[in-house]
């Protein structure tokens, strides 16, 4: 049984390594030439995999560029929170942790390259918006039992808009030349403001 488990674990690691290699090659080609100029065949050839293998990991060309976009499981964070914690406190804690974290330089470079690729392609922007819409809908679904469908939809929309603004502002600072440390500190301040506004209403902005 131990041998079987080891073989299965090795197989999974190899699959993940293949997936990461395909994603890295695709991002490099997209960053160099633009999303529209790169074909799936070129990505498969550069990653040294069959086209069918590529599609087994990434069902569409868009999914290659959007890998990790909309990845925050807001619905899951809210659903798994302790019984004595509000959903806004759970989301605030999650955003605080991200702002306080130190992303490795290689990961940050890859993230910014992906942001540039998406920003330069109207098709990818539309696809990214679709993922964010799904994320918002999932959050509303989790909140529905507690607040009812209409209130849940409104709450999820406000949370999603706030988090999208935080994300866009953070990326703009990084793309504008701010260091990761400075951008992280500014994001931490913005997180507190955003959740204060969500908790207390727009009039809270008068104190800032």
Q: Quick check: 74 pLDDT over 80?
A: yes
Query: What average pLDDT score do residues 93-113 get?
Result: 87
Q: Quick check: 204 pLDDT over 70?
A: no
pLDDT at position 77 is: 95
| 37: DSSP letter | T
Domains of the chain, start order: 2-64 (1.10.10.60), 74-207 (1.10.357)
Q: Quick check: 203 pLDDT over 70?
A: no
Place of tokens 């991200």: 98
Contacts by 168-173, CB closer than 8 A, 24 or more apart = 171/112, 171/115
Give CA–CA dist 8/13, Å, rounded.
Answer: 9
Q: Quick check: 27 pLDDT over 60?
A: yes
Average pLDDT of the chain is: 89
Q: Quick check: 144 pLDDT over 70?
A: yes
Q: What is the pTM of this model?
A: 0.81
């Amino acid at each position: 049984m131990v041998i079987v488990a080891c073989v299965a674990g090795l197989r999974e690691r190899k699959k993940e390594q293949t997936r990461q290699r395909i994603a890295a090659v695709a991002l490099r080609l997209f960053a160099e030439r633009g999303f529209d100029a790169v074909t799936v065949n070129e990505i498969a050839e550069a990653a040294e995999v069959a086209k069918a293998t590529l599609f087994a990991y990434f069902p569409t060309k868009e999914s290659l560029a959007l890998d990790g976009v909309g990845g925050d499981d807001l619905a899951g964070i809210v659903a798994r929170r302790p019984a004595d914690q509000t959903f806004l406190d759970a989301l605030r804690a999650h955003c605080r942790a991200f702002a306080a974290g130190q992303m490795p330089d290689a990961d940050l470079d890859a993230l910014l390259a992906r942001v540039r690729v998406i920003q330069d392609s109207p098709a990818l922007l539309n696809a990214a918006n679709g993922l964010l819409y799904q994320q918002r809908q999932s959050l509303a679904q989790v909140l529905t039992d507690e607040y009812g469908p209409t209130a849940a939809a409104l709450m999820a929309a406000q949370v999603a808009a706030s988090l999208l603004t935080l994300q866009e502002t953070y990326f703009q600072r990084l793309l504008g030349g701010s260091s990761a440390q400075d951008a992280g500190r500014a994001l931490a301040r913005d997180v507190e403001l955003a959740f204060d506004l969500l908790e207390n209403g727009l009039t809270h902005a008068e104190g800032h």
